[in-house]
Amino acid sequence: MREKPRSGSSAQSSKNTEAEDEATGSGDKSKQPATTYVHGEMLIGAIAALAMRDSFTEAVEIILGTNRLPGPRLESLVQQLFAKPALRNKLQDKVKTYVRKLEAARLLSRPTALGLHLNNLANDRRDKHIQGIYESISEGLLGSQPWITLQESAVSPQTPVHLSEMTWSLFMTAFMRCRRTDLAGAVWDDMQKLGITPGVQIWNSLIDGYVELGDVEKAINTWNLMISQGCNPDALTYRAMLQALFNSHRSVDAMHRFREFEQNSARLAPAEDGVRLVVYNTVLSGLLWCKQEEEARSVLREMETRGPKPDIISINTFLKYYAAKGELNQLAATLDAIEPAGLKGDVFTFSIVLSALLKVRDDAADTVIKLMQKQGLEPNTATLSAIIDHLMKTQTAESFKTAFKILARMESNEFANAAPNEVTYTSMLASLHRADWLDSDTAREYTRIIWDKITSRRVQPSRVTYHVLLKACLDGSSAGGTQEALRYFRDMVSRRVRVTADTWYILLHKLMKRQEWEIAIVMAREMEDSGFEPNPALADI
């Protein structure tokens, strides 16, 4: 299966971290939407009082407008609030149950934050944590005292939280990405119990999940079941099916489905040109993956004459194909066609061209920079940092050498608005820590060189930078990765960069995956001794 496009910059990592902060409550309170901060003791006291009165829905009203609950400190807080052991013991479990359900209510009330949170959990394959959130929601729908409604118009003091169709899709996608088809099936069963007719968005989640798992037959069976239940596919359903068929080299079946898409597009759910273009670009990529170059060119000509008009992604698909084959004449011809088509190359365009030219030209970087300038894309910090990141991930001696040459040119102020920044250095360091193809001594030496540059240029590493580097060190296979990660952590503390729940989670979770149990225990104790209050996700570890 072909790898999906991924962002390589730590700028994207920054967005993900901030998104998770919003979802989990570990970020700055100022970043959380419409939130009133209430001290943990006061909040738990209010929840405990409502628990004594069995007033869960009143507790929901409180938590929807306040900060997250201090779950792991519940026992100590309850002990402070209730002196009598009998009352304390009676309330402790009940308050814990309330907190678990209230956190689910808080996430449901913020669909965007919920989606980002589930995405982050799925990235780390934290299926048990996702399952815990889902079980609280399932109980709120199907339990003896439901507090969630499926109809937005039915929101009331008795059912204060609304669950949209998108939520089912979010959980389905998260479980499928964790390879937990059994849990995705449990979500499906709950929908059946509630009499919910799955919409196309939910079907798409299932099909996309099977595509990611590489199970083409189940993707096809899901498509057939969807049709049999009277749900019409949309453009994104076709895209998922085309991806599945091309991935399994069934190009004939894929093109049959594509022609069906073209014939039926008028009666499909309305799709913007951008969505239709995604389908066409999937076909171009799939045909080239299956080495059907002439047919791919035929589809491109159809796009040029009938629409949707090709975009730079369409062109990059061909550039990548020719670069991989080493067909530089075709690569040059495709590159020359960009400007007449009214398009402009992007970072990926020039990264692809640079990778191809590095194999045959010593002046590859100069040539590509001139090409960028010719097309009106002036080299700046963002574009050159992205190209450096691409070169570092290519993991060849030529690309490694060229990345450092471009960095030197940026540091010498050769280009206006192109000084290296935190993102530039972070991506290089992260790649070095993951560089299995480099010997450990060379990787350490260049890591030291980059860190010295950060220090001498007075670049202040942010929390996001440290998180990226911690992950890189602990994800790599280097035996020294653990010590390198701990050095970054100590540096983070010494610079007084705020250590958050995400920081501790990365350290403990990754140390456990590396089976560094003794160090993980030491770090967990250090976290406790510092007085840090972990959130539920961190407490699960």
Q: How is 101-131 classified by DSSP, letter by letter?
A: HHHHHHHHT-HHHHHHHHHHHHHTT-HHHHH
Specify burial of residue 375 (Cβ count, 10 A radius: 0-12, 13-18, 19+): middle
Q: In terms of Cα–Cα distance, which of 409, 401, 343 is closest to 377?
A: 343
What backbone phi and psi angles, to 5 degrees, belong to 262? -60, -45
pLDDT recorded at residue 32: 40
Residue located via tokens 């963002």: 382
CA dist., res. 58 & res. 47, Å (int): 9
Contact between 294 and 322 under an 8 Å Cβ cutoff? The reply is no
Contact between 431 and 393 under an 8 Å Cβ cutoff? The reply is yes
CA separation, residue 75 to residues 58, 100, 272, 357 (Å) = 22, 14, 53, 63
If you classify domain 421-540 with CATH, what class do you get?
mainly alpha
CB half-sphere exposure, 13, CA atoms < 13 A: 20
| Greatest Cα pair distance in the chain | 83
Task: Say which amino acid occupies 501.
Answer: A
Q: Is 117 helix (H, G, I), strand (E, B) or coil?
A: helix
pLDDT recorded at residue 361: 84
Residue located via tokens 């814990």: 96
Contact between 434 and 475 under an 8 Å Cβ cutoff? The reply is yes
Phi/psi class of residue 82: alpha, beta or left (left: φ > 0; alpha: ψ in -120 to 50)? beta
pLDDT recorded at residue 10: 40
Q: Is 70 helix (H, G, I), strand (E, B) or coil?
A: coil
Task: Say which amino acid occupies 177.
Answer: R
Mean pLDDT, consecutive 10-residue stretches, the chain (541 aa), reads 40 41 41 50 79 87 71 56 61 79 89 90 88 94 92 91 93 95 95 93 94 93 94 93 95 96 73 82 97 97 93 96 94 93 91 90 88 86 92 88 93 91 94 86 92 92 94 84 95 93 91 92 91 73 75
Give a three-class secondary structure readout of 194-224. CCCCCCHHHHHHHHHHHHHHCCHHHHHHHHH
Q: How is 343-387 classified by DSSP, letter by letter?
A: ----HHHHHHHHHHHTTT-TTHHHHHHHHHHHTT----HHHHHHH
pLDDT recorded at residue 397: 85
What backbone phi and psi angles, to 5 degrees, belong to 66? -125, 180
Ranges assigned E (strand) in 357-483: none
Contact between 406 and 388 under an 8 Å Cβ cutoff? The reply is yes
pLDDT recorded at residue 271: 57
pLDDT recorded at residue 8: 40
Q: What residue ranges do the domains of the chain occupy?
A: 421-540
